[in-house]
Amino acid sequence: MRIVLATHNPHKVAEFQQIVAKTRPDLEVVAYDGPEPVEDGVTFAENALIKARAASAHTGLAALADDSGICVDVLGGSPGVFSAYWAGQRKDAAANLELLLDQLRDIADPHRAAHFNSTIALVTPDGQEHVVVGNWPGRLAHQASGGGGFGYDPIFIPDGQQAGAERTVGDFTAEEKQAQSHRARAFAELVPLLVGL
């Protein structure tokens, strides 16, 4: 069975396929090849639904869409839904990361709390809609570390690590990230809905 992931981001397609394979090995995640809808929602849920509806309508398949970002406490939850565009409309991941680090340059560790949010929408061709949320708490490093992951991964230090041996998600293996990430947490909430497909 195939399900379309409403993104043109190959990193997300690969990550979702690996997550899905653990619970639904018969489910093939395929990339969306249609036009990109205007994401004019002001919440993760609104944008995820916009993308999932467009992908399902375009392909005739059940569609998943993830809207995700990093939310920094001291910035009132920003960048949040604007994470991909934090440094401008180019969607430049390196520029976004550098701008966020610059904005927090003088902020001490106790005030660098943040979390990754993943909101996943599932829309079926018959019009059913579901939304699930996964949060991954942590804090932001003072500089990027590691060559893994993408986006803000190299500056995000997840909670729950041994003091003195903390790593950013950029230092994680793909398997470590998939086991703990905000997308994995959201997907765990989604599994019962996928079983019913």
Catalytic residues: 67
Give the pairing of strands 63-72 and 2-5: parallel
CB 70 within 8 A of CB 116: yes
Distance (Å, rounded) from C-alpha 57 to C-alpha 84? 25
**Cα-Cα end-to-end distance for the chain:** 9
SS3 readout for 78-109:
CEHHHHHHCCCCCCCHHHHHHHHHHHCCCCCH
Read off the amino acid at residue 52.
A
Q: Please state, in angstroms and rounded to a whole number, the distance separating the CA atoms of residues 70 and 141.
A: 13
